[in-house]
Structure 1
């Protein structure tokens, strides 16, 4: 998944009035303002009310379902023939900001902005991205992401990610 692929999707969503937030490794790079590693996919968060339209946009861009046994309506992957993949995370909040459906994105986690290839994008807020990245046993790429966020933003790296 290249930066141009990320921005093509981001722009298509903006044109259609669909707000997405960049998550995962691309979010880390957006927060850092530079690409630090290769990315096999793009993780995006989207409101439940925009999920159908996002899927239509993705289909129009050549992304097709890549079914997995643990797929749900709120978390699934789509893939293009060239192997570019998007991992879609759907959520919904009530009027008070409490998660009522899908992926548990606290409302305040959806306040970040970052830069990908010189363009501003919505993404997971820095503190929340660090929290999310340190909440599970790390793969080598996660260790690098956590260390980069810690170095740039002054977070303490937990023992599990040293």
Structure 2
């Protein structure tokens, strides 16, 4: 088990905060600590996935039929933050639930 903090964004973050799936999602928006990108890539590969495309803000990966839209956050004094996002973009505490599991949202 790895201790890699991740944050769910986009439509899945809304659903996690509501505690229910409201619609079909085309991808999963993930935010990860930028300096630990290699660990996220290793997890993707361990799960049978691969990095598909480099983007100006991060990368796309796929695991089976799931598309992951991955964006780094960077340590900023007291917490991880997404570049050009409001302060508090990556909270430490879980703010939602997906499939009965608490998740961090941004």
TM-score range (shorter-chain normalised) is 0.7 to 0.9
Separation in 1 of the partners of 2:48 and 2:80?
34
Aligned residues: 104
**Which structure shows the higher strand fraction?**
2
Pick from 88, 94, 99: which aligns with 1:117?
A: 99
Moved over 4 A (4+): 96-99
Contact 2:27 2:68 in 1 (8 A): yes
Secondary structure of the 2:15 match is helix
Alignment deviations for residues 80-111 of structure 1 (CA, whole Å, 9 cap, x no partner): 3x321111000213326695xx6434441222
CA shift in 2, pair 1:117/1:88, >3 Å: same
Q: Calculate the TM-score normalised by the size of structure 2.
A: 0.83
1:53 to 10, 25, 39: 39
In structure 1, list runs of 5 or more residues that go unmatched: 1-14, 125-162
Partner of 1:18: 4
SS class of match (1:123): coil
Higher relative contact order (CA 8 A, sep 6+): 2
RMSD of aligned Cα (Å):
2.2
Counterpart CA distance in 1 for 2:67 and 2:45 is 12
Classify 1:88/1:103 alpha carbon distance in 2 versus 1 (closer, same or farther; 3 Å): farther
Distance in structure 2 (CA, Å) of the matches to 1:45 and 1:116: 16
**CA shift digits 1:33-52 (9 cap, x unpaired):** 10001112111111112211
CA contact (8 A) 1:78 1:85 kept: yes
CA distance in 1, matches of 2:79, 2:15: 27
Higher helix share: 1
- Residues 16-74 of structure 1: CA distance to partner in whole angstroms, max 9, x if unpaired? 01000111111010011100011121111111122110111011112212226xx13x4
